[in-house]
Structure 1
């Protein structure tokens, strides 16, 4: 049903897509970058800044088990118009893991956004987000509507609607695996050659992340093995694999998204299986009905379209920033 609606939207607008080619280099040497660490009670949040450090940046948030490197191809393009600060969420990339005995909770991510806003003393916050980061940012934007000047989301807005029976059936196994991972926090995970680990990341995303893009993510997502210096292992917290994504009632999500009032750009990748269910489509329709500054665009590509083909999303983002005069602050 959702796929049929998506096709109707695409073909009714007679959209013609360009041939997908890389017209932009992933080389970020021409753009000033800076690595920073933001202190938190359990350690630090790592971040990468592109552009002018004297202006308020756009806060860029990555997806589940990815890292700030997901913005490496796109951030240099945007930072010529507005600086970008991309964080590694806790447990991801170069950020600290949560303490032993603690687990990751999806609703803690909006609190992280609030913490960053307060830490940097930003009057407003600007958001560029993908997947898990976009879901977290939507929740923040709805809870704190006066604190967000704009929100850009790529391929996700709300958590997909899944069969509750599947969730409940999997919970016992997930809880056991969570407890098991708590006992392995000091152990080095299995290691691989660079090509092997890139292929694992590529296939683990059902080829959503290309092999080239996997190598980009590995810059922050892998560490050299202490047992074999020719091999590498995934450096993210293994507890992330077993995060409990709790389904939410329709009336709750509907009430939430009605609070989204800031200018919002949603970019949907048409080859992605995410956010295509009827529930997600209906929530987007509610947003469009209640927010006159909401716009949606469809582009060819996988869930990681911004990472694999930044040239497809950059013009849309630039037009959006210029439309609302957010390209320089």
Structure 2
């Protein structure tokens, strides 16, 4: 019973009534407290609706650190870590399009991984940032490396958790899966606008936990559920996943290794890479080769191996926070 009350309280804190803003300056006028985990909900107008975000405080005159989540997660992924970060700068955690409280992309199209670096560029231009400061996990990390490599003079630092490049996919396996992805994508396009299956809060917590192959601990699902669910109109006692169903069918196209190497070798900004040793991601031979290549090429690249799953920042933020603090202090970036 106590668990149900806790989850219900979490979900009652929603994003209704958000007002679009076109500049962070107006947000900085409000009182923010990082230490007691208070934050402001932010919406940014985009061409296909809006993007939602959480803004934690710091020096209100400082440029924010842009925090980017992983595939099918949302800005809540940073909730446990942010209160532990001893930073003087605001942190702006984005819900990528189709995730959290952000709008979906238009009907009739599908998500494309290379849209995310362009999205980072859009935010930089929108907020008139001179440079971008990146804190990212998984899909957000891959997008951030692409952006930081393509625009090396426009990034002052990059912190990556458990991912750097897209894993080296087996070409035959990808081709084998393409027909299934395309069929399921068509089904989801036909279902857009209809309510998906709904579940009790306890069921959803278990589905989320198991759906990540237990990378997100059962306890940590609460942080993602805050922004990742909607109440069913058919049964008010149940909820459904609000993320865009098309996200499940992104066609990850294997990239030529020489292309990936050509992109990555342009990474010159101070970079902190934290690799979770219990995660299966970025453990293939090519990912390891690319990490070692970055270590050789970039004198400001550092890598730390830590115990934990792919979502180590969410489950064990106390492991990650000191590494980020030391990195920012060492490069005078705080």
User: With structure 2 as the length reference, what TM-score do the two structures score?
Assistant: 0.88
CA distance in 2, matches of 1:222, 1:138: 29
2:98 matched to which residue of 1? 91
Cα separation, 1, equivalents of 2:34 and 2:315: 15
Q: Take 2:201 and 2:35, find their aligned partners in 1: how far apart are those partners? A: 23
1:50 match: 56
Q: Which residue of 2 aligns with 1:150?
A: 157
2:257 corresponds, among 250, 255, 267, to 250
Mapping of residues 7-26 of structure 1, within 5 Å = none
Over 3 Å counting, the alpha-carbon distance change for 1:105 and 1:36 in structure 2 is same
The structure 2 residue matched to 1:60, chosen from 67, 70, 74, is: 67
Q: Secondary structure at the match of 1:141?
A: helix
The match for 1:70 among 60, 73, 77 is 77
Q: Specify every segment of 5 or more residues in structure 1 that has no aligned partner in the other structure, as ranges.
A: 1-26
Q: Distance in 1 between matches of 2:54 and 2:47?
A: 20
User: How many angstroms apart in 2 are the aligned matches of 1:147 and 1:137?
Assistant: 12
Does 2:120 correspond to 1:126? no
**RMSD of Structure 2 on Structure 1 (CA):** 1.3
Q: Judging changes above 3 Å, is the alpha-carbon distance between structure 1 residues 79 and 51 closer, same or farther for their aligned structure 2 residues?
A: farther
State the distance in 1 between where 2:204 and 2:100 align: 15
- Alignment of 1:214 with 2:221, yes or no, is yes
Which runs of structure 1 show a deviation greater than 3 angstroms over 4 or more consecutive aligned residues?
none
1:193 aligns with one of 187, 194, 200:
200
Q: Which residue of 2 aligns with 1:272?
A: 279
**Aligned partners of 1:32, 1:231: CA distance in 2, in Å?**
28
What count of residue pairs does the alignment treat as equivalent? 301
Q: Does 1:309 align with 2:309?
A: no
2:175 counterpart of 1:168: yes
SS state at 1:211 partner: coil
Distance 2:292 2:264 in 1: 10
In the alignment, does 2:38 pair up with 1:32? yes
- When normalised by structure 1's length, the TM-score is 0.90
In the alignment, the residues of structure 2 paired with residue 30 and residue 222 of structure 1 have an alpha-carbon distance, to the nearest angstrom, of 25
Q: Residue by residue, what CA displacement relative to the aligned partner does 1:30-72 show, whole Å, maximum 9, x if unpaired?
A: 1331000000011001000011343211000000000000000
- Tell me the secondary structure at the aligned position of residue 289 of structure 1: helix
Which residue does 2:110 correspond to in 1? 103
Q: Of 228, 231, 237, which aligns to 2:244? A: 237
